[in-house]
Chains A and B, each alone.
Chain A
Amino acid sequence: MTSASPSPKSPEVSEKSKKYDRQLRLWGDHGQNKLERSQICLINANATGTEILKSLVLPGCGSFVIVDGHRVTQEDIGSNFFLDADSLNKSRAECALRLLSELNADVAGEAIADHPDSLLNTDPKFFNRFTVVIGCHLGERVLTSLSKVLWEHGIPFLHVQTTGMIGWIRIQLNEHTIIESHPDNPKSDLRLDVPFPELVSHMDSIQLVNREDSVKTPWLVLLFKALKAYISQGAQNEKCGDTDSPPERYPFTSKQKAAFKSYLKEFSRSLGLDDSDDSFEEAVKAVNTAVMRTTVPDEVKSILDDPKTSKPESKFWILCAALKEFINDKNGQLPVRGALPDMTADSEKYIKLQNVYRDKASKDANEIFDKACQIMKQSGKQVSSITVEEVRLFCKESHNLRLLRGYPIHEELSSSPNSVLTELAQNMEECDQELMFYIILRAHLRFHNEYGTYPGFDDSETDISRFKTTMLKILNEWNTSVVAREDCIHEICRYGGAEIPSVAAFIGGAAAHEVIKLITNQYVPLDNTFIYNAITSTTRSLKLAADL
């Protein structure tokens, strides 16, 4: 399996992997590679924006561009750690770039002292090169036009805003695919109910007759043997019955498992084992988790049924198309993952067993690899080459695949948020403050569009009445009976659009979290709206969608 003699020197640990050690343990080297290849665009380096970039520059994103046409004000200096006293009246993009670049020598940064709308006018393709675009405190118009461009090009887009005690994150994803979703409780894949031929023949080659054979045997062998005997015994008992459709005899339910457990104990004792033997103890313990029905999870099924598998255009979809073919060939089963849980046993026996699973996983992966190559040839698409390693990872995670399809911001802004309004209307007495703030934030965007400032920035008395007018207009457009709460309106007008550093830190960290999920294609990101209310210390996530 391995080459005869690997180099005897201790593996060298580079400075870089030392620096990133604590995060490599979360997203691995391949996640890190994706991060290091990413190009991030931040529009507006306000407190929230620089907080987001900080948490992306530190872990080593590839490069970033700050687009910001503003000049640094006194308020900026007060709320933004990455603008110092010397930066007053200078370009905010350039000043923030200087201090953010100090965070990590491995990350390249660039500043463009211009507004995003004028960039869109002069160079409509400007934003197409980025892995992710993050906009902070964008006006309604820019938000709409950026949303359209980025949706069209499938570039993930975040709009993030903190206004006083209120934080708002909106993620726009046209389509986002995840191979490593990192489920909380990963399940094992041992195929005890549908053993593959190589596993059957390996198990058949092992003789368990007495204690000598059994005591140092991996529990999986013991379990397999006991299960086989248990099932054939069941078959004996049912012989008189109908043989065409054998009843389910595998112990899947907890009741059946309990019965099987006592059978397993008898079986082990008959081999001369007793309760304190490792293999005995471990086998009994493993019944709950190891004896499982092998199935294709529903979420994976629906991904494979997606029309995109018949006309695959990206690596993910080509792999899915190959996986679909594989499943059709293999009686509906996913490729074997090939990982075995730890078990106390004789090394040699364990290695043999492990190799049975591993070889099968490798064989399955190779089949899928071949199918993928075939599909690529047929489609005539020049997709950047797929490596065997990528296919192996894909196979190992094939039961955890995830697909998200989002809802564009420009559509959100041009329609009425019916689901939110319905929920608010149902319970006006004890209204959900986060939902209330969502509609107020929508009015806030509109206000900025109409007056060019944030409510409360100049004179809060005038602004409160102006804001109420805007609010009424919007609620009228939406044709809703929902009434905006006075106290919430006063609260938002008190801020004048200003940022509180700690709220910016909280929201900045949260947004950076999501950006890393998007870049690495690992973990399931927020879909698609998040509201943080620092007054009550509560949050709400919403999935806004077009009404059907």
Chain B
Amino acid sequence: MASEINGLLPKDIQNLVLTSKILVVGAGGVGCELLKNLVLTGFKDIHIIDLDTIEVSNLNRQFLFRREHVGRPKSHVAKDSALKFNPNVNITAYHDSITETKYDMNFYKQFGFVMNALDNRIARSHVNRMCLASDIPLIESGSSGTLGHVTVHKKGVTECFDCTQRPHQKTFPGCTIRNTPSEPIHCIVWSKHLFNQLFGLADADEDVSPDSADPEAISDAGKAALENESEQPIARVSTRQWAQNCEYDPQKLFHKFFNDDINYLLSMDNLWKKRRPPTPLDWNNLPDAVASSSSSVSGQTPVLLKDQRVWPIAECAEVFKKTIQALKNRLENEKDGGVLIWDKDDDVAMDFVTACSNIRSFIFGIIQKSRFDTKSMAGNIIPAIASTNAIVGGFIVMTAFKVLKEDWYKCNSVYIQNRVNVRKELYHFDQVMAPNPKCYVCGEKPEIVLKIDLDRMTVRMLNEKVLKKELCIIAPDVEIEDGCGTILISSEEGEMDDIGDKLLKEFKITNGTRLRCDDFLQNYNLVINIVIMSEEESKDRDKSVECFELVGDRSQLGPKDEEPSTNGKESEKAPDAEDAKVVTDDDDDLEIIAMPMPDEDDDIKVLGTKRPLDTKDEGTPAKKRRRAEEPVSTTSGSTKYMDVEVETIYLE
């Protein structure tokens, strides 16, 4: 072991390595590499936690796993494989979610430092908050295709994971999904919802039938549909119940979703004044064409991969039929009313979504996608390879040495790129960033502004979409700062049932209302300042604007010129830059990487180079940030206050 070879590692580090107890969160691509390096380096007490089990698609990089391990817990197998190499290490493996309440501050406090090898923002954010609460250093990392990064977070010294506003995962308003899709992703999301309605855990927020309460549909005309419905108080059954009643007859299902429902939508004629109206499909008379396919694979060329072809509608219908039958059989075999869980690596479930989304796309005149592309979008698939993870895993341990010595100001971040940049770096290293005083997590009194549409925002939406999904709060409790401490949201199970569907305005929440939100486990308190969306903004709600918007800290509500510097580039940004980077829900393999680029003015003197032109469109510039400053008492004179433009890049 490296720690045992005298002279290789400095003595002080060697001792720290031998005596430290450390935690690795995640036993995936980076986790495997990391565990190997930690064992080789000579760490003696390693804890590793992961809630996943091994899948075939892990085997191209997660080298501690073999074909025969598929289905087994990652953490356990990783431990066994690593112990085979060095039986003299204590490895404690947990097959569990790190967000469970048993992993509280006391759990964290037993470790010298924590290393994240995660694949989703919510867990990253959670570990960040737990490490802040227990004042344990965190080494954060991620990889995505040929790109990767490693950063250190230490309370009060460096920025925390939430200091930089990360691009939020895009969600779509219900009416776009249910009534007026205009992009392939809308149809893919709808199809995943349909899967859940028919076979999975049905969620009221994931309705797939036309939404007659669409604010755009309700106006002078087009009320016919609505009125019809209110006049016929037929006992409405759930989609699941209805499908069961007709025994999942594919033809009947097809007719309902791709003909009846479409005709119903057509009756809301307000929707189609400015849009191309959808074309209902008839099971017995299906077109043979591939509509609006932008796939580069044309019909004549032999395809490279079987699933890179766009299926004609007739084929989609055939797949629809086959997969419905297969899924129905599976559902019937579930014990005790169990349900199916959608998984991108489940071929039948993936075929179902490909077929449904392409049929729906055809109906609405939207580009159709191959199964391969659909899978990328439906599963938020991020490419992943062994070499990037090896680089990341190696760098984490090199950084760990500095963390052990508490050399915070030497804990450079690394950004792994796939080509040499203008600074002649293959990988970009960046100095430690100081905490953002306005950070809504590690700031002194965290506050955030939430803009809402009063007519649409319910308590449940606040809880699920804003607090849990956007702000990554695991178990929020919320009270209204109204003098009587009215409780709006409770983390106790069951207490939300009665009021979940109530609108926020029923609680007299209005412009300027302050909500006190806290998470007991994360030891995290946040004040949410409510601002009401203007008429104009909420009118625009069909244009894929959600019924809420997180504005960040209070200062950002001020005059326009106080907004984060964007160098006026935002308006010129290539429109497709954003559209192509749609993310719908969180799933594994999601990576968000912030890549700092030198600011033109600040770095000319230092580097003699200007920022390359071709990086300008790479992402949305975020706010100005400041590098962490080493206390004056140390000898290093090279650190100065330096404003550096930080750009955030999001990657698929």
Contact = CB atoms under 8 A, between A and B. Distances in A.
A26 B288 contact: no
Interface stretch (B171-179, B304-312, B445-453): B304-312
Nearest to A100: B63
Contacts of A13: 306-307, 347
Interface stretch (B569-577, B597-605, B626-634): B569-577
A389 B386 contact: no
A23 B391 contact: no
B304 A29 contact: yes
Interface in A173-192: 182, 184-185
A25 B381 contact: yes
A339 interface: yes
A24, A51, A338, A506 interface centre (most CB from chain B within 10 Å): A506
Given A351-B289, A524-B419, A542 B40 contact: no
B22 interface: no
A18, A84, A516 interface centre (most CB from chain B within 10 Å): A18
A527 B419 CA distance: 10
Contacts of B395: 502, 506, 537
B390 interface: yes
Contacts of A289: 574-576
B37 A502 contact: yes
B482 interface: no
A539 interface: yes
A444 interface: no
Interface stretch (B157-165, B193-201, B316-324, B553-561): B316-324
Interface string A186-227: 000000000000000000000000000001100000000000
B61 A58 contact: yes
A287 to B, nearest CB: 10
B418 A523 contact: yes
A347 B358 CA distance: 13
B40 A81 contact: yes
Contacts of A536: 410, 412
B140 interface: no
A289 B617 CA distance: 12
Given A8-B318, A24-B305, A30-B304, A347 B292 contact: yes
A185 B617 contact: yes
B394 A509 contact: yes
A90 interface: no
Interface string A1-29: 11111111111110101111111111011
B274 A22 contact: no
Contacts of A358: 298
B390 A78 contact: no
Nearest to A1: B299
Interface stretch (A110-118, A228-236, A409-417, A491-499): A491-499
Contacts of A538: 412, 429
Contacts of B505: none
A509 B371 CA distance: 31
Given A25-B376, A277-B274, A84 B85 contact: yes
A184 B274 CA distance: 35
B167 to A, nearest CB: 18
A526 B384 CA distance: 20
Interface in B284-339: 288-294, 296, 298-302, 304-309, 311-312, 314-315, 318-319, 322-323
B66 interface: yes
Contacts of A388: 301
A361 B390 CA distance: 41
B59, B60, B319, B418 interface centre (most CB from chain A within 10 Å): B60
B390 A500 contact: no
B8 A164 contact: yes
Given A11-B371, A278-B182, A347-B291, A498 B391 contact: no
Pick the 10 closest A-B CB pairs, nearest first. A509-B390, A506-B394, A505-B394, A8-B318, A347-B291, A501-B40, A2-B299, A509-B391, A502-B397, A29-B304
Given A338-B296, A502-B37, 14 more contacts: A2-B288, A10-B323, A12-B306, A18-B57, A21-B381, A78-B1, A164-B8, A278-B182, A288-B572, A345-B365, A346-B276, A351-B292, A502-B394, A502-B396
Interface of B: 1-2, 4-5, 7-9, 33, 36-37, 39-41, 56-57, 59-61, 63, 66-67, 84-85, 145-146, 182-184, 274-276, 288-294, 296, 298-302, 304-309, 311-312, 314-315, 318-319, 322-323, 345, 347, 351, 362, 365-367, 371, 376, 381-399, 410, 412, 414, 418-420, 424-427, 429, 572, 574-576, 589, 614-615, 617-618
17 contacts: A11-B371, A13-B306, A19-B60, A23-B60, A26-B383, A58-B61, A78-B1, A78-B5, A185-B614, A362-B298, A389-B302, A396-B296, A508-B394, A509-B394, A510-B426, A512-B386, A539-B429
